[in-house]
């Protein structure tokens, strides 16, 4: 392995207290040995079994409410799948010549760390005398100071790896933001009543989408609205907040909690005898704002479709077609991917992603990695900075990939942006 690649791994793992210098060396060796499994005459002594997660290790990842039968079944499925895919992949890699480098992704899910590696190989094409490169993609879990294979081995193109990288990093950051904010009592995506939480000097209040203050920042925790009220906390006391900024209870309570039965929520308040009584809500729930403007538009033009032109098994050329009038609208040649995304179409040609409307007009083009997301916006990912942006074709609004994490709340109207510390801001 080159010093540059090793340096990248050192820089990455050096930020984790879990790994020391010797551990980095061991991880580096593990990666090289795993890659060598797919190189002819390089090493025949290594078995995939060495890298598979064991049943005992699997038990450490099972939630406490699952029994040993669940663990055994999951472990069996993972190992069987990994071995089948591994053997198939090894058969396909007989033309691999050498390892060029690695791309890596790290994820933390709960108490466990995962390591996803795209091992880049040069290959000699069996059909023509051309050197190409492919990626061997494997997902590992970090057990102690070693990597154990977590049931996923496959050959990928650069495009497939970039899409996987975007999804894994975006999903990881979304989970991290949600966990941090939920732990603070923040359900910030609740925009049904026309306002959302905002933060000022570590306290929370409510504001409208135009940033008009509804309730000044004053709460340590602010939960989502249920049955027309929101549970709030100041210091060590609780109350129920109405949308107009007044409270349900005349005095703050030592503790309030909420129970849920079907679609009904009931709030309970603490009594001095250490019992709890239900709280009668004197206010009717306000009318929920319609948040489906773009949902109603989604797939509104069902007769406009995309379909491959010839070679249906491995298409490269596509057309936008009106099935009602039986007429061609536009043709897009030499695309790696072309598909419908809501009332728009999403295509990728080498390193360029495009968004096309039903008339065949290209609305958006980017050399960043992009991925369509229901109900119709495009996640944009800068692989160099590993920052995210969003494009929404409905109003043609583009937010540059300058955010650690970004999430549309009202399609293209209102966005949540988080930094690496999960501090949030709103973008309108």
Evaluate if residue 71 carries a pLDDT over 80.
Answer: yes
Evaluate if residue 218 carries a pLDDT over 80.
Answer: yes
38 against 387, higher pLDDT: 387
Integer Cα distance of 118 and 135 in angstroms: 6
8 Å CB contact between 89 and 153: yes
Domain segments of the chain as ranges:
3-156, 195-278, 294-427
Across the strands, what pairs with 260?
A: 265
Q: Quick one: average pLDDT of 257-283?
A: 82
Across all residues in the chain, what is the average pLDDT?
76
Integer Cα distance of 139 and 116 in angstroms: 4
Integer Cα distance of 223 and 240 in angstroms: 10
Which range has the top average pLDDT, 64-78, 271-285, 340-354, 412-426? 340-354
Integer Cα distance of 406 and 330 in angstroms: 33
Closest CA to 102 of 22, 10, 166: 10
Predicted pLDDT at 134: 76
Evaluate if residue 2 carries a pLDDT over 60.
Answer: no
Predicted pLDDT at 98: 72
Predicted pLDDT at 191: 58
Closest CA to 406 of 394, 422, 384: 422
Q: Quick one: average pLDDT of 275-297?
A: 62
Q: Quick one: average pLDDT of 49-76?
A: 79
b/e map 129-156, b = 16+ CB within 10 Å = eeeeebbbbbbbbbbeeebbbbbbbbbb
Please give the share of the chain, as a percent, with pLDDT higher than 90.
15
- Angle at which helix 21-36 crosses helix 3-13, to 10 degrees, equals 130
Which pTM value belongs to this model?
0.68
Coil, strand or helix: which one is 123?
strand
Least confident of 3-7, 203-207, 225-229: 3-7
152 against 222, higher pLDDT: 222
Predicted pLDDT at 237: 92
How does residue 295 score in pLDDT terms, banded at 50, 70 and 90?
Answer: very low
Evaluate if residue 421 carries a pLDDT over 90.
Answer: no
Evaluate if residue 45 carries a pLDDT over 70.
Answer: no
- The answer to whether the bond into 375 is cis (omega within 30° of 0) is yes
Predicted pLDDT at 401: 93
* CA distances (Å), origin 378, targets 86, 131, 225: 33, 34, 29
The hierarchical CATH code for the domain 294-427 is: 2.40.10.480
Q: Quick one: average pLDDT of 249-259?
A: 89
Evaluate if residue 326 carries a pLDDT over 50.
Answer: yes
CB atoms within 10 A of CB 280: 7
Closest CA to 231 of 201, 202, 260, 194: 260
Q: Quick one: average pLDDT of 162-182?
A: 83
Q: Quick one: average pLDDT of 244-258?
A: 89
Please give the share of the chain, as a percent, with pLDDT higher than 70.
72
């Amino acid at each position: 392995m080159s010093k540059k690649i090793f340096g990248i791994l050192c820089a990455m793992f050096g930020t984790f207290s879990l790994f020391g210098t010797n551990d980095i060396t061991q991880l580096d060796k593990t990666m090289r040995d795993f890659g060598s499994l797919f190189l002819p005459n390089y090493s025949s002594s290594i078995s995939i079994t060495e890298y598979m997660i064991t049943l005992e290790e699997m038990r450490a990842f099972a939630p406490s409410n699952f029994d040993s039968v669940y663990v055994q079944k999951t472990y069996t499925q993972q190992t069987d799948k990994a071995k089948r895919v591994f053997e198939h992949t090894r058969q396909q890699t007989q033309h691999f010549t050498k390892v060029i480098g690695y791309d890596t992704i790290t994820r933390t899910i709960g108490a466990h760390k995962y390591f996803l590696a795209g091992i880049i190989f040069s290959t000699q094409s069996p059909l023509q005398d051309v050197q190409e490169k492919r990626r061997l993609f494997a997902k590992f879990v970090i057990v102690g100071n070693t990597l154990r294979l977590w049931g996923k081995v496959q050959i990928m193109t650069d495009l497939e790896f970039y899409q996987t990288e975007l999804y894994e990093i975006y999903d990881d950051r979304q989970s991290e933001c949600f966990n941090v904010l939920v732990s603070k009592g923040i359900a910030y995506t609740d925009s049904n009543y026309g306002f959302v939480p905002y933060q000022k000097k570590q306290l929370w209040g409510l504001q409208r989408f135009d940033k008009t203050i509804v309730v000044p920042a004053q709460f340590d925790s602010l939960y989502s609205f249920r049955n027309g009220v929101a549970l709030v906390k100041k210091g060590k006391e609780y109350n129920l907040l109405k949308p107009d900024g007044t409270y349900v209870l005349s005095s703050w309570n030592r503790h309030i909690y909420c129970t849920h039965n079907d679609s009904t929520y009931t709030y309970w308040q603490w009594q001095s005898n250490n019992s709890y009584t239900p709280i009668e809500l004197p206010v009717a729930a306000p009318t929920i704002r319609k948040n489906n403007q773009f949902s109603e538009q989604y797939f509104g033009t069902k007769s406009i479709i995309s379909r491959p032109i010839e070679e249906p098994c491995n298409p490269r050329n596509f057309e936008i077609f009106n099935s009602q009038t039986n007429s061609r609208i536009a043709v897009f040649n030499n695309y790696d991917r072309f598909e419908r995304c809501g009332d728009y179409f999403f295509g990728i040609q080498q390193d360029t992603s495009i968004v096309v409307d039903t008339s065949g007009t290209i609305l958006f083009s980017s050399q960043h990695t992009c991925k369509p997301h229901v109900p119709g916006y495009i996640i944009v990912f800068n692989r160099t900075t590993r920052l995210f942006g969003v494009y929404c074709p409905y109003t043609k609004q583009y937010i540059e990939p300058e955010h650690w994490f970004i999430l549309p709340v009202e399609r293209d109207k209102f966005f949540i942006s988080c930094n690496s510390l999960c501090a949030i801001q709103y973008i309108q």
